Amino acid sequence: MEKPHLLIVDGMALLFRSFFASAAMKQYIRLDDGTPTNGVQGFARHVLTAQNLMKPTHVAVCWDMGMHTFRNDLFEGYKANRPAPPEEMLPQFDMAKDVSEIIGWKNFGISGLEADDLIGSMIEKWKGDANITVISGDRDLLQLLNPATTLAFTKKGYMEYDTYTEQRFREEYGITPKQFAEVKAFMGDASDGYPGVKGIGPKTALQLIQTYHSIDGVLAALDELKPAQRMKINENVEMLKLSHQLATINCDAAIEAELNELVMPTFNETVVAQLENRGLRLITRHARSLGL
């Protein structure tokens, strides 16, 4: 019997991507009352296209629930340098979740966790029961790859993805997916606001893990490193370990659902009516163009 195919959507990643792609051209697609909907309509169209392209049997949409997470408790500077969302985007966060519910996609979000943590926890929960595809733009998720999981990174428009399997990752990086968080710990992440080891970039970070397999392995072999590398690491050991905590996706979150609750919904006339009553006609037109 063929396994179910679960599509996990990084909702916030698609919402932001859709918003900025159209906001750059001032295309906010406002409702009659002036509320912008460009991010929401782009998000829904993106997922509908993926549904048509990838033919999943089940779907889940994961969301961040506010800016503060357990990582901010670990490190005050975590994501502190990110600008606030544009004013036109603010009403679209709740609207996107509402649209997801109308269409029948089940939303997931837990206060204090990021969407990445929910995605990781879903993969951990269902990797033995389903083939899983994750849609996102966040390469931090590479650490979640396993034989049952494929990552589809947004690339261009609604149709093009840069797709990673565990095999492709191992061939390109020469490490296991779980070791990717240790690479991130050394190189840091400017977008997320943690420095890693200052002076060690992506290439050196990867080489260190390829050679010594882990942070502990590197620390145990410091005498083998070049003096400059040894000094940089010695000066930043605590930040290195903290950066590893920040880079590691939590896969232990409680997912309060069973797989059979995530069956792909039918885009029927009731859904069409609800969306069009809210002025979201671009979504329904797009669904019809896909034959849904």
Q: Sorting pLDDT into bands at 50, 70 and 90, what band is 22?
A: very high
Take residue 126 and report the two structure tokens written for it.
Answer: 């269902």
Same domain, 153 and 260: yes
Same domain, 78 and 204: no
Expressed in angstroms, the distance from the first to the final Cα of the chain is: 26
Q: Sorting pLDDT into bands at 50, 70 and 90, what band is 25?
A: confident
Q: Sorting pLDDT into bands at 50, 70 and 90, what band is 24?
A: confident
Predicted confidence at residue 123, as pLDDT, reads: 98
CA distance 253 to 243: 20
Same domain, 178 and 107: no
Lowest mean pLDDT among 24-28, 101-105, 147-151: 24-28
Same domain, 108 and 199: no
Take residue 165 and report the two structure tokens written for it.
Answer: 């399997």
The CATH number for 205's domain is 1.10.150.20
Report residue 136: phi and psi, to 5°: -160, 175
pLDDT single digits (tens) 152-206: 999 988 889 999 999 999 999 999 999 999 999 999 999 999 999 999 999 999 9
Same domain, 55 and 190: no
**Average model confidence (pLDDT) for the chain?**
96
Total domains in the fold of the chain: 2
CA distance 130 to 12: 23
Kindly tell me if the per-residue pLDDT of 1 is higher than 80: no
Same domain, 186 and 46: no
Contacts of 240 (CB under 8 A, 6+ apart): 185, 186, 196, 197, 215, 233
Sign of CA dihedral 109, 110, 115, 118: negative
Same domain, 45 and 157: yes
Exposed/middle/buried for residue 73 (C-beta within 10 Å: 0-12, 13-18, 19+): exposed
Report residue 57: phi and psi, to 5°: -100, -20
pLDDT single digits (tens) 50-108: 999 999 999 999 999 988 999 999 999 999 888 899 999 999 999 999 999 999 999 99
112-127 mean pLDDT: 98
Contacts of 124 (CB under 8 A, 6+ apart): 251, 252
Report residue 21: phi and psi, to 5°: -65, -35
Same domain, 98 and 178: no
Q: How far is CA 228 from CA 159, 200, 202, 220, 270, in A?
A: 46, 10, 16, 16, 65
CA distance 159 to 59: 18
CA distance 224 to 216: 14
Q: Provide the 8-state DSSP code for 146.
A: B
Give residue 43's domain range. Answer: 5-171+251-289
Same domain, 149 and 28: yes
The CATH number for 16's domain is 3.40.50.1010
Contacts of 22 (CB under 8 A, 6+ apart): 28, 29, 38, 39, 42
Which one, of 180, 145, 178, 150, lies nearest residue 163 by Cα? Answer: 150
Kindly tell me if the per-residue pLDDT of 249 is higher than 80: yes
Same domain, 136 and 163: yes
Contacts of 221 (CB under 8 A, 6+ apart): 212
Same domain, 272 and 137: yes
CA distance 247 to 83: 20
Same domain, 183 and 237: yes
Q: Sorting pLDDT into bands at 50, 70 and 90, what band is 115?
A: very high
